[in-house]
Amino acid sequence: MDMGRVIAVSGKGGAGKTLLAALLVRKLVKTGHKSILAIDADPDSNLPDALGVFVESTIGDIREEFSVEQSRLPPGYSKDAWLESKVFEIMVETPSFDVLVMGRPEGPGCYCAVNHILRKIIDSMTGGYDYAIIDAEAGLEHLSRRTTQNVDDMIVVTNGSLSGFNTAERIKNLANELRIKFKHLYLVVNRANSSHEKLILKRVGSIGLEFAGGIPEDANVAEYNLLGKSLLELPDDSPAVKAMDEIMEKLSMQGGK
């Protein structure tokens, strides 16, 4: 079975993860793809807004509900089936893509078994799409939380600063430590100054990442954000949208798989 391609977007807080995730979904939709799952794995969720979608409940809500309902489930009733039906319930469908929001991670109380089942359900669901795009939480924790352990490609977004590159390097090292294998580990530089390209390429090479391109400052992106407008509606000639053509090519995503 063709498992589709799972792409996670990570990086420091405010680096442009949600922007890149939304622009990836936009490009896929515009090139006619219909089997796309967008996963917001940031507890401080904002991907649905960027995609112009309203999502009422999260995987975190299911976990809470389960802890209350568990004792009331009829004997012999399968936990897995209950959880799976809940995951389908909270998923929001649009004509061209579906959206799933992870919400708050597990609290101090131990819900390990539930988390394990939910993880399996989400992984198997993700595999059913041609493309799954994950907007990860800022930093590195997503790797140990397993939200990004089963991804094909990891894209780290940085603003071109030293600390952004350091985050990228730590993601690479932690993935190695946890024996997580990405097919590709890409770097995208957001809001970069094009005159710094040589310096950036040198740094990218020394970390051992694949450079997938840059996204320029785009006044429309800032305006849409302030107005709460979907980034899917950005005009085709908007600078950030135009920059995606080169990025899609580097990711080998032009015109489909």
User: Which residue from 7, 26, 39, 42 is in contact with ligand ATP, where contact means CB under 6 A?
Assistant: 42
* Coil, helix or strand at residue 216: coil
- Residue with Cβ nearer ligand ATP (44 or 89): 44
Build a one-symbol-per-residue string for 6-45: x at contacts with Mg ion by CB under 5 A, - elsewhere. Answer: -----------xx---------------------------
In the complex, residue closest to Mg ion by CB: 18
Build a one-symbol-per-residue string for 163-202: x at contacts with ligand ATP by CB under 6 A, - elsewhere. Answer: ---------------------------xx-----------
Q: Name the phi and psi angles at 66, rounded to 5.
A: -60, -40
Distance of CA 74 to the CA centre of its chain: 36
The 10 Å CB-count burial string (b at 16+, else e) for 80-100 is eebbbebbeebbbeeeebbbb
- Residue with Cβ nearer ligand ATP (110 or 227): 227
Radius of gyration in angstroms for the set of CA atoms belonging to the chain, rounded to a whole number: 18
Sheet hosting strand 153-158, strand order edge to edge: 92-93, 98-101, 36-41, 131-136, 5-11, 153-158, 184-190, 210-215
* Coil, helix or strand at residue 189: strand
The label of the residue with tokens 């094009």 reads 194
- CB 233 → ligand ATP: shortest distance, Å? 14
**Which of Mg ion, ligand ATP, none is residue 218 near (CB under 5 to 8 Å by kind)?**
ligand ATP
- Residue with Cβ nearer ligand ATP (2 or 237): 237
Interface with ligand ATP, residue 241, by CB under 6 A: no
Give the binding site for ligand ATP (CB under 6 A): 11, 13-19, 42, 46, 138, 190-191, 215, 217-218, 221-222, 225, 240
